[in-house]
Amino acid sequence: MGRLKILSPGFLTTVQDSGRYGYRSYGMPLSGAMDFFSHMTGNLLVGNEPGVPSLEITLTGPEIEFTGRLLIAVTGAEMYPTINGQQVEMWKSHRVGRKDRLSFSYPASGARAYLSVAGGLRVPVVMGSASTYLRGKTGGLNGRKCEEGDIVETGSHYNAFRKPVALPLHLIPEWKQCQVLSVVSGIDCEAFPEESIGLFYRETFSVSNYSDRMGIRLSGHTISHRDKADVISYPIVPGTIQVPGDGNPVMMLADSQTVGGYTQIAVLATSSLWKTGQLKPGDMVNFRLIENGEAVRQLVKVMNELDEVFGRGDNRITMERYRNKGG
């Protein structure tokens, strides 16, 4: 068993796993990693099951000291990690030892990086998940972000003979400042005139400063309604795109509420949802309408590509395995 000591916490560093499934009917958000592809891949690189807890690092990274031998990997935003001042590759596993220090730079692209450690992070499980839900003060490190002086314990397994593994270059995502996101039609399309629907799919939107783990508010073009924006509240999921009365679309994300009272113009395909975790204020997005079948095919393609690298026989890399945290 090893430990991570947080020497400085960065802007927002939290413990996240694949999410808190099965409690949305009680009003509890899903939470979990904003960029599930980077989170999953980091765990696979160090030999973990894909959904176990890692550190999610937002915009400015922490400085971390290790208390023993560990196998680690950094994935996600391009934050130029260094170990003892020497830059190391992302999307690749690395060995660290006692007193080694990990640091980060401000991301050249993307918004969130993930630090995965062999054996995962050992924090209390709340409602089936270790994920931190900050608004509810639930999960992770007593429901809060990492602070200076925190000690985070890791799992027990460390294989000194395990060779470092790298993700093939063609699978490493490119974090563009303008992302094209695939969506399927929302259930309230009839609430918008045709010209509004056309504008939504034709124009480029900007990520506003009013963005966090709960949702991303977009700006640049306003979407008008036929009548009114308010509807009787009904369930929403991460990926739902609502249009409130001001006409600025809002993409609901990992910490989003479980019901909403604004019209839903579209829903992000799962294969695009993880890309929103790398958006920061000033980035741009375009929406591309696809059918449900194409949304499924896009996700299957991503999972098959990971399975080709990390799959082990019948234990395939799937979203079901990720959500079950490998259990």
Residue 165 phi, psi dihedral angles, 5° rounding: -120, 140
In which band, very low, low, confident or very high, does the pLDDT at 158 lie, cut at 50, 70 and 90? low
Contact status, residue 146 vs residue 14, Cβ threshold 8 Å: yes
131 within 8 A of 19, measured Cβ to Cβ: yes
* pLDDT tens figures, 238-258: 999 999 999 999 999 999 999
Q: Which residues pair with 151 in a beta bridge?
A: 5
Give the span between the Cα atoms of 204 and 148, in whole angstroms.
Answer: 40
Ranges of beta strands (E only) in 79-186 are 82-83, 86-87, 93-96, 101-103, 109-117, 121-122, 151-154, 178-185
The pLDDT value recorded for residue 315 is 82
Alpha carbons 175 and 61: distance in angstroms, whole number: 18
Going by DSSP bridges, is the β-strand pair 3-8/63-66 parallel, antiparallel, or unpaired? Answer: antiparallel
pLDDT at position 307? 94
Average pLDDT over residues 56-69: 95
Query: In the structure, what pLDDT confidence band is assigned to residue 228 with cuts at 50, 70 and 90?
Result: confident
Mean pLDDT for 88-95 is 96
Please state, rounded to an integer, the average pLDDT across all residues of the chain: 94
Separation between Cα atoms, residue 270 and residue 266, nearest integer Å: 13
Can you tell me the mean pLDDT for 104-125?
A: 96
Mean pLDDT along residues 264-290: 97
The alpha helices in 254-291, defined as continuous H runs, are: 270-273
What domains are there in the chain, each with its CATH number? 3-171 (no CATH), 178-290 (2.40.100.10)
Higher-confidence residue: 312 or 39? 39
Is the pLDDT assigned to residue 160 strictly greater than 70? no
- Res 326: pLDDT: 65
Q: In this model, does residue 161 exceed pLDDT 60?
A: no
> E strands within 67-108?
70-78, 82-83, 86-87, 93-96, 101-103
Hey, what are 253's tokens?
């994300």
Q: What are phi and psi of 119, to 5 degrees?
A: 95, -10
pLDDT tens across 19-60, in order? Answer: 999 999 999 999 999 999 999 999 999 999 999 999 999 999
pLDDT band at 162 (very low <50, low <70, confident <90, very high): low
Secondary structure letter of residue 89 according to DSSP: -
Helix (H, G, I), strand (E, B) or coil at 299: helix
d(CA 130, CA 178) in angstroms, rounded, equals 32
- The pLDDT of residue 75: 98
The percent of residues above 90 in pLDDT, for the chain, comes to 90
d(CA 11, CA 13): 7
Task: State residue 164's pLDDT score.
Answer: 81
Tell me if 220 sits within 8 A of 246, measured CB to CB: no
84 φ/ψ angles, rounded to the nearest 5 degrees: 55, 40
Structure tokens at 114: 């993930």
Mean local confidence (pLDDT), 304-323: 89
Pair type for strands 284-289 and 178-185 = parallel
